Amino acid sequence: MESREVIGKERHVPRIEEIIADDPRLPPLERQVLNVLEKNPDYLFRMDKKADLQELGAWMKAPETPYPPMSLVDSAPRPISLIEHALNALHHKEEIGYIIINDHRCYGSHEAVGRAKALVKTPEPAVGAQVANGAQPAEAAL
């Protein structure tokens, strides 16, 4: 995408959307996933649930809809592995977060994960309890 056009002898300054679209850190698929997650902070997607990932893939085809478009779930779906990879890559780049709920790793926008953390009750750890990486149990999933 050319971010600067020559108009006569003048150049125009790129718009915000053009600069964001030129971000080399986010390939198009990751950008689509991030767009859906950020527009829908009430949703988390469980990595180990194929149906969740299929719905995310369908929503990427119609990101303007307020709910995942179930009619698109089976229409030429993207391979689930591509969506899984995009979620992992976005998390690695700190563009999205995850939380573990009922033994499911759930990915979402930072806002969605924050909302989930506020709703999920974590058990009180035993005095002096720690997990393998030295973090307190409530911090282990972050």
What is the per-residue pLDDT across 85-115, written as a single tens digit (0 to 9) for each? 999 999 999 999 999 999 999 999 999 999 9
Closest alpha carbon to 120 in 89, 88, 142, 87: 142
Q: How many CA atoms lie within 13 A of 69 on its CB side?
A: 15
What is the per-residue pLDDT across 20-60, written as a single tens digit (0 to 9) for each? 666 677 888 999 999 999 999 999 999 989 889 999 999 99
Whether 139 has a pLDDT exceeding 70, the answer reads no
For residue 90, the model assigns a pLDDT of 96
